[in-house]
Amino acid sequence: MLFRWLKRYMPRGLYGRAALILILPVVTLQLVVSVVFIQRHFEGVTRQMTHTVSRELSLVLEEVERAPSRQEAAERVARLARGLELELGFPRNLPAGNIRRWYDFSGTVLIRELRSRIDGLAAVEMPDDHVVRVFVDTGQGPVMLSFDRRRVSASNPHQLLVNMVFFGGLMTIIAYIYLRNQLRPITRLAEAAEAFGRGHHVPYTPAGALEVRAAGNAFLDMRARIERQIEQRTLMLSGVSHDLRTPLTRMKLGLSMLDDEDRKPLERDVEDMQRLLDGFLEFARGMSESGSEPADPRKMLEGIVENSRRAGLTVELGICEGEGEVPLRVEAMRRAVENLVNNAVRYGSRAVVSCWIGDRSLRIRVEDDGPGIPAERHEEAVRPFTRLDPSRNQDRGTGVGLGLSIAADVARAHGGILKLGQSETLGGLQADIVIAR
C-alpha cells in the first residue's frame, strides 16, 4: 500500500528517476553523517571539555567559600583565577535566567553539564562565541566566573558540514552529467521507436553501453523486417491485382458481344470482382505514400464531404472545433476518412463528419444512423476482410471488409488509434480517428 502511494509522486521521466536514484542516497548519507557528527561533536566533545572546566570552577568556588569575607575571598582567589584563565567578579544580583542563542546547540549541553556538576548554579550567559559567564550563589553572595568559550566548545564546528554539503553537491553534479551522457542513447532509441510507431523513419545509430547497443541493433533489425514485410505485402497484392486485371478486361470484351439478357448478370459478377481487386489494391498501398506534411484537417474534410456529395452520397459536415495545421499523410488520411464515410452511407441513410483540433491531439469523427456494431465485436470489425453480416445492413451494397481495417491501419501509422462506439446523436456507429500532434 505504501509503495502504491509513493508511486504517484515518483518522476515519470528517465532523467527524473535517475536523478532521484543518484541524489536520494547522497542526501540520506549526508543526513546520517550530520546527525552522528552533531551528536559526537556538539554533545560528546562539549561534555568532555565542560567536565574539565567545571572542576576548575569548583576549585575556585571552594576557595571562595573558605574565605571569611567577600573582600578577602577576592584577594585570595584572584591569583588562582588568573592561573586558571578565569575572571572573578561579585555582582550585586543574580540574573533571572540563562542567556543563549537559539541555534547554539552546544550551549544546551554546556548548561546541562554545569548544572549537574556545580552546586548553587544560578544562571549561565553565552551572548556570543567568545565568552561564557557562570553565576553561582555562594556563602559570600553572588559570584560571577567568566572564561573563553573555546575552552568548552570546539572551534569552527560548522566546517565539516560546509565541506560535506559543498563536495556532496559537486560530486552529485559531476555524476549527473556523466549519467546524462549514459541516458542519452536510451532517449534516442525511444525517440526512434516512437517515430517509427507513427510512421516516420528517423535515422538512428546504436550507441552507449553494451546493453543499449544490443537493444538498438535489435530495434534496427525489427524495423527492417517490418519494412520488408510491408513492402512484400504491397508488391504481392499489387502484383495479384495487376495480373487479374488483364483476364477481367478480356471477360468484359467477351461479355460485350453477348445478348443483354445473358450479359447483365455476368457483368455484375465482373464488376464485383473488379471492386474486390480495387479494395485489395487500396489495402496493399497502405502507407506507401511519402512522409507527412502540415495540413489543415478542416479543409481536408470539406473536400471529402464535397466529393461525396457529388457522388450522390448523403454526407454532412458537422462542427469542427479548433484551428491549426497537423502533420498528416494527406492521401492516406483522406482514404481512411473516405472509407469510413462509404461504410456509413452503405449501412445507414446519412453520415456526419466532424473534427476536434486540440493542442496535443486531433480527432476526426464519422457518425451514421445505421444499425451500428455491438461493443463486443469492435475488435473483430477492424480485422482485414471481416464482414459483420448479422449486425450490419447489407441491402445498400456489398463490401470487401477492408474499410475499417484501412482506417485503423492509417491511424496506427500516424501514431493514433481507431475507436468505435455508438453515436449519441444519430444512434448508429461512431468511428473516431484519434492521433497525437
Strands ordered across the beta sheet of 351-357: 315-321, 351-357, 361-368, 429-436, 417-422
| Residue 36 grid coordinates | 552522528
Residue % of the chain over a pLDDT of 70: 86
Q: What is the pLDDT of residues 1-24, one digit of tens each?
A: 556 766 677 777 777 777 777 778
Q: What does the domain layout of the chain look like in residue ranges?
A: 10-151, 289-436
For 282-306, the pLDDT digits (tens) are 666 655 555 678 889 999 999 999 9
pLDDT at 244: 74
pLDDT (average), residues 176-191: 85
Superfamily of domain 289-436: Histidine kinase-like ATPase, C-terminal domain (3.30.565.10)
The DSSP H or E segment spanning 281 is helix 260-285
Average pLDDT of span 380-396 = 61
Residue 395 predicted with pLDDT over 50: no
CA dist., res. 151 & res. 154, Å (int) = 8
The third-level CATH classification (topology) of the domain covering 10-151 is Beta-Lactamase (3.30.450)
Grid cell at residue 207: 550507441
Question: Between vectors from CA 28 to CA 154 and to CA 32, what angle results, nearest 5°?
Answer: 35
Ranges assigned E (strand) in 298-345: 315-321, 326-328
Query: What pLDDT, on a 0 to 100 scale, did the predictor assign at position 144?
Result: 92
Question: Which of these ranges, 83-92, 215-224, 269-278, 321-330, has the smallest mean pLDDT?
Answer: 269-278
Q: The whole model's pTM is what?
A: 0.51
